[in-house]
Amino acid sequence: MAEINLKRVDEIIEGYKGEEGVLIQLLLDIQNEFNWISPEAIARISEQMRIPKSQIYRIASFYKAMSLKPVGRHIIHVCMGTACQVRGAPKILDRIEENLKIKEGETTSDMRFSLKRVNCLGCCAMGPVILVDGTYHGKITSAMVESILGQYE
Amino acid sequence: MKLEIDDKTVEIEAGNTLLAAARSIGIDIPTLCYHPALEPFGACRLCSVEIEKRGRTKVVTACNYPVEDGLIVRTNTPDIIEIRKLLLELLLARCPDEGRIQSLASEYGVSKPRFQIEDEHCILCGLCTRVCEELVGVSAINVISRGVEREVGAPYNELSDDCIGCGACALVCPTDAIRLEKNIYPTTAEDIQEIEGKFLEGERDEVLGVFSDLVAGKASTGGQDGGMVTALLISGMKNNLFDAALVVRRVEGYNAEAVVVEDEQGILSARGTKYLRVPMMSKLEAALKAGKRRIAVVGTPCEVKAVRKLQQQRDLEREYPGIELTILGLFCLESFDYDGLKADMSSRFDVELDKADKTQISKGKYIVTAGGKDYSCDVRDMEAIVREGCPYCGDFVSQLADISIGSVGSPDDCSTVIVRSKAGKKLLDAAEFVSAEVDKKQIVKLAKLKKRNADRNLATILDGVQ
Ligand SMILES: Cc1cc2nc3c(=O)[nH]c(=O)nc-3n(C[C@H](O)[C@H](O)[C@H](O)COP(=O)(O)OP(=O)(O)OC[C@H]3O[C@@H](n4cnc5c(N)ncnc54)[C@H](O)[C@@H]3O)c2cc1C
Ligand code: SF4
Ligand code: SF4
Ligand code: FES
Ligand code: FES
């Protein structure tokens, strides 16, 4: 799992010390820098800002912009809708899992990719489809997987 | 402020709510998420009423709407009744098995909801989270997530390290929901009875709980008082009663953490009382997950309660086959906040807490030993830095432990030991120590004092429960 550098968390907290009502901004800073908010980070904020953990967690679990699980810099959605299934989506998923050495729902240890499956991306004619961040890649084959992933740092 | 509620005139000071104004003249407005000792939340909307201002009407929630001069309030119009009916229909669909909801619903003639029936218990009134935050002060639980996934829970859906098992949340919860929570430890009177029946052995003393033996002893290991905790742990491990112990030791300066130790050296390293509350339950679960099964846990009364509650509500034997927990409970009147204690010591005595050799509380005095010198003050003067939650804890002697140890009741340099179960008896029999005279009266006096204070605080909560 992607560890969050707690020294860096301390630095971020330091920048907000003594100010009121900064929790949301502080959490967003941590989210932006690490792409998620770990239990350790919450414990640290709780200790340093003297805010109970459950209150921090309440906020972090409320805002869509915050993630309580590690999320990679790029998110791959593999369409598993019926049309894509028929056209070989399972093979594509296998290949991506093999390539990134993670399973669906997981994140690579270098935080580069998170892998998710979805039901029908609404462009069945292009199947099989994967969506990386905002970009649709359609009519792909397993052989194309590596070069597509290569486009994302 | 002068206003009119259901055609009756009422005069009440500004700053009051419509609910208070109505109740002051005997008009009943139903509420679910309101409690007089807590900040209004406005979540359930059951207290909806109609107000009329300059000829215009609107619906507001009475529990958090401030009184205004000249306001006309109607609590029972057909529209308002309809709103309440609909809310109760929704609630009944969500929580069909909850008595309080059932009776409110039937009061309003609602029986068969037209909505999808679920089997929830929590109505998200937030009473539990507010009582835990605003009164108890530990804020162990909160309403988490958003939308349909909103629920009451502890962070990450893991065991809470902050919950002290005071049971305040269970007192206010209008449903069964809080008793079904898995990650906190609200211990009610019924829970205590059940736990005693299941785990403890001996006579039940009104004040000291169930026990079979009460002794004082001094061991050669050295320690806070008579070193009995340390001696019990060492001999228990030698005699194979457990193979790991969860103890609390200093990490940086005076600050401390709970650690799992597996040998005599480790046990010795935890000698001495740190007057703090440290995260404990997550450490226990981590030890179990790491494969430890036979563990002795040393903890304050709140921690003892938490461990027992865990044994009671979860099927630990299935989750961790072969699990065997032995609980050594300490006496405790209160703990302090690390930062607070540090600042207090520095300003009061110019003593650096982190360099202190020892801290102790004896006969109402707090004593810190540093640089070969003792500094002392009345514990009563340190109220401001008492850890939040302690005033709601009524257990001085760790009533639910297998064996309890404290300093009160025995001569200086000795520890008082109370045996409460077979496991505790075995542990005491295995230990080597020189025994001394116990003064039970002293223990009873402090135990009563702590209970009385907690009961008084809990009474404020009970007063507002309907
Ligand atoms: C916060 C606190 C308040 C207390 N208040 C009172 C009191 O008001 N009256 C009274 O008679 N006794 C009180 N005690 C108990 C007393 O201080 C001694 O711990 C007890 O008498 C055992 O002494 P000993 O010589 O046998 O302990 P030792 O052999 O020195 O062993 C001490 C054990 O306590 C554990 N411990 C130390 N600090 C903590 C902590 N913060 N949380 C959990 N475990 C800890 C260690 O793991 C160690 O195993 C309190 C203890 C604590 C932790
Ligand atoms: S658990 Fe009980 S008190 Fe807490 S929000 Fe749910 S119903 Fe209300
Ligand atoms: S038992 Fe006490 S500390 Fe624990 S969640 Fe309930 S109110 Fe909070
Ligand atoms: S099934 Fe894949 S886009 Fe519709
Ligand atoms: S009691 Fe007023 S909104 Fe719940």
Tens-digit pLDDT profile for residues B428-457:
999 999 999 999 999 999 999 999 999 999
Q: Which amino acid is at B406?
A: G
Of A50, A53, A64, nearest to B155 by CB-CB distance is A53
**Contact across the interface for B142 and A64, Cβ inside 8 Å:** no
Q: Clarify whether residues B152 and B296 are in a common domain.
A: no
| SS3 of residue A33 by DSSP | helix
Domain boundary among B385, B406, B424: B385
Please, which residues bridge with residue B330 across strands?
B405
Cα B175 to Cα B188: distance, rounded to the nearest angstrom: 14
| SS3 of residue B271 by DSSP | coil
Distance (Å) from CA B35 to ligand 5 centroid: 9
Chain B residues whose beta carbon lies within 8 Å of the beta carbon of residue A52:
133, 138-140, 162
The whole-number average pLDDT for the span B14-43 is 95
| Residue B465 resides in a domain | no
Supply the mean pLDDT for chain A.
Answer: 90
Please, which residues bridge with residue B366 across strands?
B361, B377
Q: Clarify whether residues A98 and A78 are in a common domain.
A: yes
Q: pLDDT tens for residues B228-237?
A: 999 999 999 9
Of B141, B142, B156, nearest to A39 by CB-CB distance is B156
CATH of the domain at B53: 3.10.20.740
Cα B83 to Cα B62: distance, rounded to the nearest angstrom: 14
Q: Structural domain tally of chain B?
A: 4
Using the predicted structure, report yes or no on whether residue A144 has a pLDDT greater than 70.
yes
Least confident of A5-9, B160-164, B255-259: A5-9
Cα B421 to Cα B199: distance, rounded to the nearest angstrom: 7
Q: Which of B285, B313, B52, B297 is nearest to B180 (CA)?
A: B313
Contact in structure between B279 and A40 (CB atoms under 8 Å): no
Q: Which of A18, A9, A15 is nearest to A44 (CA)?
A: A9
Nearest CA to ligand 3 atom 2: B166
Q: Clarify whether residues B298 and B434 are in a common domain.
A: yes
Q: pLDDT tens for residues B191-224?
A: 999 999 999 999 999 999 999 999 999 999 999 9
Residue A2 — very low, low, confident or very high, per pLDDT cuts 50/70/90? low
Q: Clarify whether residues B156 and B174 are in a common domain.
A: yes
Q: Clarify whether residues B409 and B447 are in a common domain.
A: yes
* B212 burial level (CB within 10 Å; 0-12, 13-18, 19+): middle
Q: Clarify whether residues B240 and B312 are in a common domain.
A: yes
Q: Which of B446, B457, B411 is nearest to B208 (CA)?
A: B446
- What is the atom index within ligand 4 of the atom nearest the CA of A83? 1
Contact in structure between B430 and B236 (CB atoms under 8 Å): yes
**Contact across the interface for A39 and B154, Cβ inside 8 Å:** no
Contact in structure between B450 and B393 (CB atoms under 8 Å): yes
CATH of the domain at A121: 3.40.30.10
Q: Clarify whether residues B258 and B394 are in a common domain.
A: yes
Q: Provide the H-helix boundaries in B68-140.
A: 78-94, 99-107, 127-130
Question: For B426, phi and psi rounded to 5 degrees?
Answer: -55, -45
Q: Clarify whether residues A16 and A80 are in a common domain.
A: no
In chain A, the residue whose alpha carbon lies closest to the alpha carbon of B138 is A52
Q: Clarify whether residues B329 and B347 are in a common domain.
A: no
The whole-number average pLDDT for the span B390-415 is 96
> Which structural domain, as residue segments, surrounds residue B154?
127-186
Q: Clarify whether residues A51 and A86 are in a common domain.
A: no
Supply the mean pLDDT for chain B.
Answer: 95
**Contact across the interface for A62 and B146, Cβ inside 8 Å:** yes
Q: Clarify whether residues B341 and B400 are in a common domain.
A: no
Q: pLDDT tens for residues B91-107?
A: 999 999 999 999 999 99
Q: Clarify whether residues A82 and A51 are in a common domain.
A: no
Q: Structural domain tally of chain A?
A: 2
> Which structural domain, as residue segments, surrounds residue A49?
6-62
Q: Clarify whether residues A144 and A84 are in a common domain.
A: yes
Q: pLDDT tens for residues B122-132?
A: 999 999 999 99
Q: Clarify whether residues A88 and A145 are in a common domain.
A: yes
Chain B residues whose beta carbon lies within 8 Å of the beta carbon of residue A68:
156
Using the predicted structure, report yes or no on whether residue A5 has a pLDDT greater than 90.
no
Q: What is the pLDDT of residue A111?
A: 84
Q: pLDDT tens for residues B240-297?
A: 999 999 999 999 899 999 999 999 999 999 999 999 999 999 999 999 999 999 999 9
Residue A79 — very low, low, confident or very high, per pLDDT cuts 50/70/90? very high
| Residue A69 resides in a domain | no
Shortest distance, CA B139 to any CA of chain A (angstroms): 6
Of B139, B145, B146, nearest to A54 by CB-CB distance is B139
| Residue A143 resides in a domain | yes
Please report the ipTM that was assigned to this predicted complex. 0.81
**Contact across the interface for A58 and B142, Cβ inside 8 Å:** yes
Q: Which amino acid is at B126?
A: G
